Protein backbone atom coordinates (compact mmCIF):
# COMPACT_ATOMS: atom_id res chain seq x y z
CA UNK A 1 0.00 0.00 0.00
CA UNK A 2 1.46 3.32 -0.98
CA UNK A 3 2.18 5.92 1.68
CA UNK A 4 0.07 9.06 1.41
CA UNK A 5 -0.97 12.17 3.22
CA UNK A 6 -4.08 10.25 4.27
CA UNK A 7 -2.19 7.46 6.06
CA UNK A 8 -3.85 5.56 8.85
CA UNK A 9 -3.70 7.03 12.35
CA UNK A 10 -1.36 5.10 14.63
CA UNK A 11 -0.97 4.89 18.43
CA UNK A 12 1.18 7.77 19.69
CA UNK A 13 3.42 5.42 21.70
CA UNK A 14 3.82 1.79 22.67
CA UNK A 15 1.63 0.67 25.56
CA UNK A 16 3.40 -0.50 28.70
CA UNK A 17 1.09 -3.45 29.26
CA UNK A 18 -1.10 -5.63 27.00
CA UNK A 19 -3.38 -8.62 27.54
CA UNK A 20 -5.15 -11.41 25.68
CA UNK A 21 -8.05 -13.65 26.63
CA UNK A 22 -8.93 -16.99 25.05
CA UNK A 23 -12.62 -17.86 25.46
CA UNK A 24 -12.38 -21.57 24.74
CA UNK A 25 -15.01 -24.27 24.67
CA UNK A 26 -13.70 -25.81 27.90
CA UNK A 27 -11.78 -23.08 29.73
CA UNK A 28 -11.19 -19.34 29.61
CA UNK A 29 -7.62 -18.02 29.84
CA UNK A 30 -6.19 -14.55 30.46
CA UNK A 31 -2.56 -13.57 29.98
CA UNK A 32 -1.07 -10.17 30.79
CA UNK A 33 2.35 -9.01 29.62
CA UNK A 34 4.54 -5.95 29.90
CA UNK A 35 6.09 -4.57 26.72
CA UNK A 36 9.80 -4.11 27.28
CA UNK A 37 11.99 -3.10 24.37
CA UNK A 38 9.41 -4.37 21.90
CA UNK A 39 9.29 -7.78 23.60
CA UNK A 40 6.63 -9.38 25.80
CA UNK A 41 7.34 -10.25 29.41
CA UNK A 42 4.43 -12.26 30.86
CA UNK A 43 3.45 -11.04 34.31
CA UNK A 44 0.06 -12.64 35.02
CA UNK A 45 -1.96 -15.68 33.96
CA UNK A 46 -5.45 -16.78 34.94
CA UNK A 47 -7.51 -19.81 33.97
CA UNK A 48 -11.04 -20.92 34.78
CA UNK A 49 -12.98 -23.99 33.65
CA UNK A 50 -16.21 -22.62 32.17
CA UNK A 51 -17.28 -25.60 30.01
CA UNK A 52 -19.02 -23.40 27.50
CA UNK A 53 -19.44 -26.26 25.01
CA UNK A 54 -21.39 -28.25 27.60
CA UNK A 55 -23.92 -25.41 27.62
CA UNK A 56 -24.91 -25.71 23.95
CA UNK A 57 -28.42 -27.16 23.70
CA UNK A 58 -29.86 -29.19 20.82
CA UNK A 59 -30.78 -25.95 19.00
CA UNK A 60 -27.16 -24.73 19.21
CA UNK A 61 -28.07 -22.05 21.72
CA UNK A 62 -26.12 -21.34 24.89
CA UNK A 63 -28.17 -22.08 27.99
CA UNK A 64 -28.68 -19.35 30.60
CA UNK A 65 -26.54 -21.37 33.01
CA UNK A 66 -23.61 -21.52 30.59
CA UNK A 67 -23.94 -17.83 29.82
CA UNK A 68 -23.94 -17.03 33.54
CA UNK A 69 -20.78 -19.12 34.09
CA UNK A 70 -19.07 -17.30 31.24
CA UNK A 71 -20.03 -13.82 32.44
CA UNK A 72 -19.06 -14.57 36.04
CA UNK A 73 -15.61 -15.49 34.81
CA UNK A 74 -15.36 -12.46 32.53
CA UNK A 75 -16.37 -10.15 35.36
CA UNK A 76 -13.31 -11.41 37.23
CA UNK A 77 -11.10 -11.03 34.17
CA UNK A 78 -12.53 -7.54 33.73
CA UNK A 79 -11.24 -6.48 37.13
CA UNK A 80 -7.74 -7.06 35.73
CA UNK A 81 -8.05 -5.50 32.26
CA UNK A 82 -10.98 -3.07 32.28
CA UNK A 83 -8.65 -0.11 32.84
CA UNK A 84 -6.30 -1.01 29.98
CA UNK A 85 -6.12 1.37 27.01
CA UNK A 86 -8.38 0.63 24.02
CA UNK A 87 -6.60 -1.56 21.51
CA UNK A 88 -4.28 -3.15 24.06
CA UNK A 89 -6.48 -6.15 24.93
CA UNK A 90 -7.30 -8.93 22.46
CA UNK A 91 -10.21 -11.21 23.36
CA UNK A 92 -10.71 -14.25 21.11
CA UNK A 93 -13.69 -16.61 21.00
CA UNK A 94 -13.40 -20.04 19.40
CA UNK A 95 -15.46 -23.09 18.39
CA UNK A 96 -18.45 -22.86 20.73
CA UNK A 97 -18.95 -19.16 20.05
CA UNK A 98 -18.66 -19.91 16.34
CA UNK A 99 -21.54 -22.39 16.68
CA UNK A 100 -23.82 -20.66 19.18
CA UNK A 101 -26.80 -19.03 17.48
CA UNK A 102 -27.26 -16.62 20.37
CA UNK A 103 -23.58 -15.73 20.67
CA UNK A 104 -24.28 -12.06 19.97
CA UNK A 105 -26.04 -11.60 23.32
CA UNK A 106 -23.08 -13.08 25.19
CA UNK A 107 -20.56 -11.04 23.20
CA UNK A 108 -22.23 -7.73 24.00
CA UNK A 109 -22.48 -8.62 27.70
CA UNK A 110 -18.87 -9.83 27.63
CA UNK A 111 -17.72 -6.49 26.25
CA UNK A 112 -19.45 -4.72 29.11
CA UNK A 113 -17.75 -7.05 31.61
CA UNK A 114 -14.28 -6.75 30.11
CA UNK A 115 -14.37 -3.21 28.78
CA UNK A 116 -12.99 -4.54 25.48
CA UNK A 117 -14.59 -6.16 22.40
CA UNK A 118 -14.63 -9.91 21.78
CA UNK A 119 -13.60 -11.32 18.39
CA UNK A 120 -14.83 -14.67 17.11
CA UNK A 121 -12.19 -16.24 14.88
CA UNK A 122 -12.53 -18.97 12.26
CA UNK A 123 -11.01 -22.39 12.82
CA UNK A 124 -8.14 -21.63 10.44
CA UNK A 125 -7.45 -18.27 12.10
CA UNK A 126 -7.47 -20.07 15.44
CA UNK A 127 -4.90 -22.50 14.03
CA UNK A 128 -2.71 -19.61 12.81
CA UNK A 129 -2.75 -17.94 16.22
CA UNK A 130 -2.00 -21.25 17.95
CA UNK A 131 1.02 -21.79 15.74
CA UNK A 132 2.22 -18.24 16.40
CA UNK A 133 2.04 -18.86 20.15
CA UNK A 134 3.69 -22.27 19.94
CA UNK A 135 6.51 -21.16 17.62
CA UNK A 136 7.44 -18.30 19.95
CA UNK A 137 7.87 -20.81 22.80
CA UNK A 138 10.20 -23.13 20.85
CA UNK A 139 13.76 -22.79 19.64
CA UNK A 140 14.90 -23.68 16.14
CA UNK A 141 13.48 -23.45 12.64
CA UNK A 142 12.81 -27.13 11.96
CA UNK A 143 9.59 -28.12 10.23
CA UNK A 144 7.06 -29.24 12.83
CA UNK A 145 3.54 -30.56 13.21
CA UNK A 146 1.54 -28.76 15.89
CA UNK A 147 -1.57 -30.37 17.42
CA UNK A 148 -3.95 -28.44 19.66
CA UNK A 149 -6.96 -30.27 21.12
CA UNK A 150 -9.44 -27.77 22.49
CA UNK A 151 -12.87 -28.21 23.98
CA UNK A 152 -14.77 -28.20 20.69
CA UNK A 153 -12.18 -28.38 17.91
CA UNK A 154 -8.75 -29.76 17.12
CA UNK A 155 -6.27 -27.71 15.12
CA UNK A 156 -3.46 -29.21 13.02
CA UNK A 157 -0.66 -27.05 11.66
CA UNK A 158 2.53 -27.80 9.77
CA UNK A 159 4.99 -24.96 10.03
CA UNK A 160 8.63 -24.01 9.79
CA UNK A 161 10.15 -21.57 12.25
CA UNK A 162 7.55 -18.86 12.83
CA UNK A 163 5.75 -19.49 9.51
CA UNK A 164 2.66 -21.74 9.25
CA UNK A 165 2.57 -23.68 5.99
CA UNK A 166 -0.64 -25.72 6.24
CA UNK A 167 -3.59 -25.21 8.58
CA UNK A 168 -6.66 -27.28 9.45
CA UNK A 169 -9.42 -27.20 12.05
CA UNK A 170 -11.49 -30.31 12.83
CA UNK A 171 -14.82 -30.57 14.64
CA UNK A 172 -13.74 -32.69 17.58
CA UNK A 173 -12.56 -31.73 21.05
CA UNK A 174 -12.28 -32.93 24.61
CA UNK A 175 -15.64 -31.51 25.73
CA UNK A 176 -17.68 -32.56 22.70
CA UNK A 177 -16.22 -36.09 22.67
CA UNK A 178 -16.56 -36.52 26.43
CA UNK A 179 -20.22 -35.46 26.35
CA UNK A 180 -20.97 -37.71 23.38
CA UNK A 181 -18.99 -40.82 24.30
CA UNK A 182 -18.10 -40.64 28.02
CA UNK A 183 -21.00 -39.01 29.87
CA UNK A 184 -20.27 -38.32 33.54
CA UNK A 185 -16.70 -39.51 33.01
CA UNK A 186 -17.70 -43.18 32.54
CA UNK A 187 -15.27 -45.12 30.35
CA UNK A 188 -16.24 -48.42 28.71
CA UNK A 189 -14.60 -50.49 25.97
CA UNK A 190 -17.45 -50.15 23.48
CA UNK A 191 -17.71 -46.40 24.03
CA UNK A 192 -13.96 -46.04 23.61
CA UNK A 193 -14.00 -47.86 20.26
CA UNK A 194 -16.80 -45.60 19.04
CA UNK A 195 -14.95 -42.47 20.14
CA UNK A 196 -11.71 -43.51 18.50
CA UNK A 197 -13.43 -44.48 15.24
CA UNK A 198 -15.30 -41.16 15.21
CA UNK A 199 -12.01 -39.28 15.64
CA UNK A 200 -10.29 -41.33 12.92
CA UNK A 201 -13.19 -40.58 10.57
CA UNK A 202 -12.78 -36.86 11.22
CA UNK A 203 -9.05 -37.16 10.52
CA UNK A 204 -9.39 -39.27 7.37
CA UNK A 205 -9.84 -36.40 4.84
CA UNK A 206 -6.67 -34.63 6.06
CA UNK A 207 -4.55 -37.65 6.96
CA UNK A 208 -2.35 -37.54 3.86
CA UNK A 209 -1.65 -33.81 4.27
CA UNK A 210 -0.49 -34.10 7.86
CA UNK A 211 0.79 -37.67 8.24
CA UNK A 212 4.41 -38.36 9.15
CA UNK A 213 6.20 -38.14 5.84
CA UNK A 214 4.55 -34.84 4.87
CA UNK A 215 7.81 -33.10 5.67
CA UNK A 216 7.61 -32.44 9.40
CA UNK A 217 10.38 -33.72 11.66
CA UNK A 218 8.91 -33.23 15.12
CA UNK A 219 5.38 -33.30 16.58
CA UNK A 220 4.42 -30.68 19.17
CA UNK A 221 1.27 -30.49 21.27
CA UNK A 222 -0.23 -27.47 23.01
CA UNK A 223 -3.06 -26.52 25.37
CA UNK A 224 -4.87 -28.30 28.18
CA UNK A 225 -5.51 -31.83 26.90
CA UNK A 226 -1.92 -32.37 25.77
CA UNK A 227 -0.47 -30.87 28.94
CA UNK A 228 -2.77 -32.91 31.17
CA UNK A 229 -1.94 -36.15 29.35
CA UNK A 230 1.78 -35.35 29.63
CA UNK A 231 1.46 -34.75 33.37
CA UNK A 232 -0.41 -38.03 33.89
CA UNK A 233 1.88 -40.27 31.84
CA UNK A 234 5.00 -38.72 33.35
CA UNK A 235 3.60 -39.05 36.87
CA UNK A 236 2.98 -42.74 36.11
CA UNK A 237 6.59 -43.13 34.98
CA UNK A 238 5.65 -44.18 31.44
CA UNK A 239 7.86 -41.55 29.80
CA UNK A 240 10.34 -38.96 31.04
CA UNK A 241 9.24 -36.04 28.89
CA UNK A 242 6.51 -35.29 26.38
CA UNK A 243 4.13 -38.06 25.32
CA UNK A 244 4.85 -41.34 23.53
CA UNK A 245 2.45 -43.61 21.67
CA UNK A 246 3.29 -46.42 24.09
CA UNK A 247 2.42 -44.19 27.07
CA UNK A 248 -0.91 -43.22 25.45
CA UNK A 249 -1.83 -46.87 24.94
CA UNK A 250 -1.05 -47.59 28.60
CA UNK A 251 -3.16 -44.60 29.62
CA UNK A 252 -6.08 -45.92 27.61
CA UNK A 253 -5.81 -49.27 29.41
CA UNK A 254 -5.71 -47.49 32.77
CA UNK A 255 -8.88 -45.54 31.99
CA UNK A 256 -10.68 -48.67 30.80
CA UNK A 257 -9.59 -50.54 33.90
CA UNK A 258 -10.78 -47.77 36.24
CA UNK A 259 -14.01 -47.18 34.27
CA UNK A 260 -14.15 -43.49 35.25
CA UNK A 261 -12.11 -40.30 35.22
CA UNK A 262 -14.00 -38.35 37.89
CA UNK A 263 -13.52 -40.24 41.14
CA UNK A 264 -9.92 -39.23 41.77
CA UNK A 265 -6.96 -41.54 42.06
CA UNK A 266 -5.30 -40.69 38.73
CA UNK A 267 -2.02 -39.08 39.66
CA UNK A 268 -1.36 -35.81 37.81
CA UNK A 269 -5.00 -35.28 36.76
CA UNK A 270 -6.71 -32.19 38.15
CA UNK A 271 -10.33 -32.21 39.28
CA UNK A 272 -11.14 -29.49 36.74
CA UNK A 273 -9.78 -31.53 33.83
CA UNK A 274 -11.19 -34.91 34.90
CA UNK A 275 -14.73 -34.65 33.40
CA UNK A 276 -13.36 -34.07 29.87
CA UNK A 277 -10.16 -36.10 30.11
CA UNK A 278 -11.35 -39.30 28.42
CA UNK A 279 -12.63 -37.48 25.35
CA UNK A 280 -9.34 -35.62 25.00
CA UNK A 281 -7.28 -38.81 25.34
CA UNK A 282 -9.39 -40.60 22.72
CA UNK A 283 -8.89 -37.73 20.26
CA UNK A 284 -5.16 -37.53 20.97
CA UNK A 285 -4.67 -41.27 20.52
CA UNK A 286 -6.52 -41.14 17.19
CA UNK A 287 -4.26 -38.27 16.08
CA UNK A 288 -1.17 -40.31 16.99
CA UNK A 289 -2.43 -43.31 15.04
CA UNK A 290 -3.71 -41.46 11.97
CA UNK A 291 -0.69 -39.20 11.57
CA UNK A 292 1.99 -41.74 12.47
CA UNK A 293 3.23 -39.95 15.58
CA UNK A 294 5.54 -41.90 17.89
CA UNK A 295 6.49 -39.09 20.25
CA UNK A 296 5.17 -35.57 20.94
CA UNK A 297 6.80 -32.63 22.67
CA UNK A 298 4.72 -30.26 24.80
CA UNK A 299 4.86 -26.54 24.02
CA UNK A 300 4.46 -23.72 26.49
CA UNK A 301 2.66 -21.35 24.11
CA UNK A 302 -0.86 -21.64 22.70
CA UNK A 303 -3.73 -19.54 21.36
CA UNK A 304 -3.69 -16.76 23.98
CA UNK A 305 0.05 -16.21 23.58
CA UNK A 306 -0.37 -16.19 19.81
CA UNK A 307 -3.15 -13.60 20.06
CA UNK A 308 -0.89 -11.44 22.21
CA UNK A 309 2.05 -11.66 19.80
CA UNK A 310 -0.34 -10.87 16.94
CA UNK A 311 -1.57 -7.82 18.86
CA UNK A 312 2.01 -6.71 19.42
CA UNK A 313 2.57 -6.95 15.68
CA UNK A 314 -0.40 -4.69 15.06
CA UNK A 315 0.92 -2.13 17.53
CA UNK A 316 4.33 -2.24 15.84
CA UNK A 317 2.82 -1.72 12.37
CA UNK A 318 3.17 -5.38 11.33
CA UNK A 319 -0.53 -6.10 10.97
CA UNK A 320 -1.16 -9.49 9.31
CA UNK A 321 -4.44 -8.14 7.95
CA UNK A 322 -2.66 -5.75 5.56
CA UNK A 323 -0.94 -8.69 3.86
CA UNK A 324 -4.22 -10.64 3.74
CA UNK A 325 -6.01 -7.77 1.97
CA UNK A 326 -3.19 -7.29 -0.52
CA UNK A 327 -3.08 -11.03 -1.19
CA UNK A 328 -6.82 -11.13 -1.89
CA UNK A 329 -6.58 -8.11 -4.18
CA UNK A 330 -3.84 -9.83 -6.21
CA UNK A 331 -5.68 -13.15 -6.30
CA UNK A 332 -8.79 -11.53 -7.79
CA UNK A 333 -6.84 -9.23 -10.13
CA UNK A 334 -7.98 -5.94 -8.62
CA UNK A 335 -6.55 -3.01 -10.54
CA UNK A 336 -4.22 -1.45 -7.94
CA UNK A 337 -4.26 2.03 -9.48
CA UNK A 338 -8.05 2.30 -9.28
CA UNK A 339 -8.14 0.85 -5.77
CA UNK A 340 -5.58 3.43 -4.65
CA UNK A 341 -7.52 6.31 -6.23
CA UNK A 342 -10.68 5.30 -4.39
CA UNK A 343 -8.77 4.68 -1.18
CA UNK A 344 -7.08 8.10 -1.26
CA UNK A 345 -10.36 9.94 -1.75
CA UNK A 346 -12.28 7.82 0.77
CA UNK A 347 -9.68 8.52 3.47
CA UNK A 348 -9.65 12.19 2.49
CA UNK A 349 -13.42 12.33 3.05
CA UNK A 350 -13.10 10.43 6.33
CA UNK A 351 -10.51 12.88 7.59
CA UNK A 352 -12.96 15.73 7.02
CA UNK A 353 -15.94 14.17 8.79
CA UNK A 354 -14.42 11.80 11.36
CA UNK A 355 -15.13 14.13 14.27
CA UNK A 356 -18.63 15.16 13.16
CA UNK A 357 -19.64 11.56 12.48
CA UNK A 358 -17.84 10.14 15.52
CA UNK A 359 -15.69 7.83 13.36
CA UNK A 360 -12.92 7.80 15.93
CA UNK A 361 -10.28 5.22 16.69
CA UNK A 362 -8.28 3.10 14.29
CA UNK A 363 -10.96 0.68 13.09
CA UNK A 364 -12.92 3.05 10.77
CA UNK A 365 -9.70 4.06 9.00
CA UNK A 366 -8.52 0.50 8.59
CA UNK A 367 -11.83 -0.86 7.35
CA UNK A 368 -12.45 2.00 4.92
CA UNK A 369 -8.94 1.62 3.54
CA UNK A 370 -9.33 -2.15 3.13
CA UNK A 371 -12.85 -1.75 1.74
CA UNK A 372 -11.49 0.56 -0.96
CA UNK A 373 -8.72 -1.91 -1.79
CA UNK A 374 -11.21 -4.76 -2.18
CA UNK A 375 -14.34 -3.07 -3.49
CA UNK A 376 -13.75 -4.46 -7.00
CA UNK A 377 -12.78 -8.07 -6.16
CA UNK A 378 -16.09 -9.27 -7.58
CA UNK A 379 -15.18 -8.07 -11.07
CA UNK A 380 -13.05 -11.19 -11.43
CA UNK A 381 -16.27 -13.22 -11.43
CA UNK A 382 -18.71 -11.06 -13.40
CA UNK A 383 -19.33 -7.35 -13.88
CA UNK A 384 -23.07 -7.78 -13.36
CA UNK A 385 -23.66 -7.51 -9.63
CA UNK A 386 -19.94 -7.52 -8.90
CA UNK A 387 -20.49 -5.81 -5.55
CA UNK A 388 -22.55 -8.83 -4.47
CA UNK A 389 -19.92 -11.28 -5.73
CA UNK A 390 -17.23 -9.29 -3.96
CA UNK A 391 -19.12 -9.27 -0.66
CA UNK A 392 -19.52 -13.05 -0.82
CA UNK A 393 -15.79 -13.51 -1.43
CA UNK A 394 -14.77 -11.18 1.40
CA UNK A 395 -17.19 -12.73 3.86
CA UNK A 396 -16.30 -16.34 3.12
CA UNK A 397 -12.68 -16.49 1.98
CA UNK A 398 -10.05 -17.11 4.65
CA UNK A 399 -8.15 -13.91 5.49
CA UNK A 400 -5.43 -14.23 8.09
CA UNK A 401 -5.80 -11.88 11.03
CA UNK A 402 -9.50 -11.09 10.54
CA UNK A 403 -12.18 -12.04 13.04
CA UNK A 404 -15.55 -13.23 11.76
CA UNK A 405 -17.07 -9.87 12.76
CA UNK A 406 -14.41 -8.03 10.76
CA UNK A 407 -15.15 -10.26 7.76
CA UNK A 408 -18.80 -9.19 7.99
CA UNK A 409 -17.93 -5.52 8.35
CA UNK A 410 -15.61 -5.53 5.38
CA UNK A 411 -18.10 -7.53 3.29
CA UNK A 412 -20.83 -5.02 4.20
CA UNK A 413 -18.71 -2.16 2.86
CA UNK A 414 -18.01 -4.00 -0.38
CA UNK A 415 -21.67 -4.99 -0.79
CA UNK A 416 -22.99 -1.48 -0.22
CA UNK A 417 -20.47 0.57 -2.22
CA UNK A 418 -22.73 0.87 -5.31
CA UNK A 419 -26.32 0.72 -6.52
CA UNK A 420 -29.15 0.64 -3.95
CA UNK A 421 -28.03 1.18 -0.36
CA UNK A 422 -28.83 -2.14 1.44
CA UNK A 423 -29.46 -0.89 4.96
CA UNK A 424 -30.45 -4.30 6.31
CA UNK A 425 -27.04 -5.92 5.79
CA UNK A 426 -25.59 -3.86 8.63
CA UNK A 427 -27.99 -5.47 11.10
CA UNK A 428 -25.70 -8.51 11.26
CA UNK A 429 -22.90 -6.44 12.76
CA UNK A 430 -22.28 -5.85 16.47
CA UNK A 431 -24.61 -3.07 17.59
CA UNK A 432 -21.81 -0.59 18.20
CA UNK A 433 -20.49 -1.04 14.66
CA UNK A 434 -23.70 -0.51 12.70
CA UNK A 435 -23.89 3.26 12.46
CA UNK A 436 -20.13 3.71 11.85
CA UNK A 437 -20.30 1.01 9.15
CA UNK A 438 -23.22 2.73 7.39
CA UNK A 439 -21.36 6.03 7.44
CA UNK A 440 -18.18 4.38 6.17
CA UNK A 441 -20.19 2.84 3.35
CA UNK A 442 -21.48 6.30 2.37
CA UNK A 443 -17.89 7.58 2.15
CA UNK A 444 -16.79 4.59 0.06
CA UNK A 445 -19.77 5.10 -2.28
CA UNK A 446 -18.85 8.74 -2.85
CA UNK A 447 -15.20 7.90 -3.50
CA UNK A 448 -16.17 5.15 -5.97
CA UNK A 449 -18.54 7.47 -7.86
CA UNK A 450 -15.96 10.25 -8.07
CA UNK A 451 -13.44 7.87 -9.64
CA UNK A 452 -15.75 5.94 -11.92
CA UNK A 453 -13.99 7.45 -14.96
CA UNK A 454 -10.75 5.82 -13.71
CA UNK A 455 -8.76 8.91 -14.69
CA UNK A 456 -5.42 9.25 -12.97
CA UNK A 457 -5.66 12.84 -11.80
CA UNK A 458 -5.60 14.42 -8.33
CA UNK A 459 -8.97 15.29 -6.87
CA UNK A 460 -9.38 17.74 -4.01
CA UNK A 461 -12.86 17.50 -2.51
CA UNK A 462 -14.50 18.88 0.60
CA UNK A 463 -17.20 17.15 2.61
CA UNK A 464 -19.30 18.64 5.37
CA UNK A 465 -21.69 16.44 7.33
CA UNK A 466 -24.42 17.21 9.82
CA UNK A 467 -26.17 14.03 10.88
CA UNK A 468 -27.67 12.63 7.67
CA UNK A 469 -27.06 15.81 5.64
CA UNK A 470 -23.97 15.79 3.41
CA UNK A 471 -22.53 18.70 1.42
CA UNK A 472 -19.92 17.69 -1.15
CA UNK A 473 -17.86 20.54 -2.64
CA UNK A 474 -15.88 19.88 -5.83
CA UNK A 475 -13.28 22.07 -7.60
CA UNK A 476 -14.63 24.89 -9.77
CA UNK A 477 -15.85 23.80 -13.23
CA UNK A 478 -15.10 20.15 -12.40
CA UNK A 479 -18.66 18.98 -13.02
CA UNK A 480 -18.79 20.76 -16.35
CA UNK A 481 -15.75 18.78 -17.47
CA UNK A 482 -17.19 15.53 -16.08
CA UNK A 483 -20.80 15.26 -17.29
CA UNK A 484 -20.99 11.50 -16.71
CA UNK A 485 -19.81 11.86 -13.12
CA UNK A 486 -22.35 14.66 -12.63
CA UNK A 487 -25.09 12.26 -13.76
CA UNK A 488 -23.68 9.55 -11.48
CA UNK A 489 -23.74 11.94 -8.51
CA UNK A 490 -27.37 12.79 -9.18
CA UNK A 491 -28.21 9.08 -9.19
CA UNK A 492 -26.15 8.60 -6.03
CA UNK A 493 -28.15 11.35 -4.32
CA UNK A 494 -31.32 9.41 -5.12
CA UNK A 495 -29.85 6.15 -3.78
CA UNK A 496 -28.79 7.88 -0.57
CA UNK A 497 -32.15 9.61 -0.21
CA UNK A 498 -33.80 6.17 -0.13
CA UNK A 499 -31.52 5.40 2.83
CA UNK A 500 -32.53 8.71 4.45
CA UNK A 501 -29.30 10.60 3.69
CA UNK A 502 -29.47 13.97 1.91
CA UNK A 503 -26.59 14.69 -0.46
CA UNK A 504 -26.05 18.08 -2.07
CA UNK A 505 -23.21 18.65 -4.55
CA UNK A 506 -21.66 22.05 -5.20
CA UNK A 507 -18.59 23.52 -6.86
CA UNK A 508 -16.05 25.66 -5.08
CA UNK A 509 -16.45 29.35 -5.78
Average pLDDT, the chain: 94
Which backbone phi and psi does 271 adopt, to 5 degrees? -60, -35
Phi-psi region of 358 (alpha: psi -120 to 50; beta: other; left: phi over 0): left
Nearest-10 crossing angle of helices 363-374, 336-353: 150
CA atoms within 13 A on the CB side of 33: 24
Whether the CB-CB separation of 342 and 447 falls below 8 Å is answered with yes
What pTM was estimated for this model as a whole?
0.93
Whether the CB-CB separation of 328 and 379 falls below 8 Å is answered with no
- Residues 6 or more apart whose CB falls under 8 angstroms from that of 333 comprise 379, 380
The angle formed by the CA atoms of residues 239, 243 and 245, to the nearest 5 degrees, is 95
Q: Which residues pair with 28 in a beta bridge?
A: 23, 48
Q: What is the CATH number of domain 17-120+307-311?
A: 3.30.420.40
Sign for the CA dihedral angle at 116, 117, 123, 127 comes to negative
Q: What pLDDT does residue 321 have?
A: 96
pLDDT: which is higher, 175 or 3: 175
pLDDT, tens only, 37-66: 888 999 999 999 999 999 999 999 999 999
pLDDT, tens only, 373-424: 999 999 999 999 999 999 999 999 999 999 999 999 999 999 999 999 998 9
pLDDT, tens only, 27-42: 999 999 999 988 899 9
**CA dist., res. 99 & res. 179, Å (int):** 16
pLDDT, tens only, 439-455: 999 999 999 999 999 98
Mean pLDDT, residues 291-309:
96
Same topology between domain 17-120+307-311 and domain 319-457: no
Q: Which fold has domain 319-457?
A: Hypothetical protein af1432 (1.10.3210)
Identify the H or E element spanning 17.
strand 17-23
pLDDT: which is higher, 390 or 480: 390
Identify the H or E element spanning 106.
helix 103-114
CATH 3.30.420.150 is right for the domain spanning 138-299: yes
Domain ranges of the chain: 17-120+307-311, 138-299, 319-457
Amino acid sequence: MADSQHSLPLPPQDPEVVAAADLGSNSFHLVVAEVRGGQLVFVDRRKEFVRLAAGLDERKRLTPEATARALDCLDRFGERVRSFLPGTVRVVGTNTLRQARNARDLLEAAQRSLGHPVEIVSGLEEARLIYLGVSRSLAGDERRLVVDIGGGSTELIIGEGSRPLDLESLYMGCVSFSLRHFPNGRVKEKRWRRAEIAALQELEPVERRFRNGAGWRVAVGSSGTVRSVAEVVQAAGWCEQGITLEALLRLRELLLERGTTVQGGIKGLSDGRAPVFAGGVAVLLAVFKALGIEQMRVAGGALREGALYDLLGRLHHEDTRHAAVESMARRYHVQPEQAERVRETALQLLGQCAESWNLTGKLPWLMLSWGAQLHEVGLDINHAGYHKHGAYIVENAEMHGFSLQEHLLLASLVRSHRRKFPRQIFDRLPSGWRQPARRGAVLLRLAAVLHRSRRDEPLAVKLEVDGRDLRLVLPAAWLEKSPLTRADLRQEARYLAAAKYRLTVEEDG
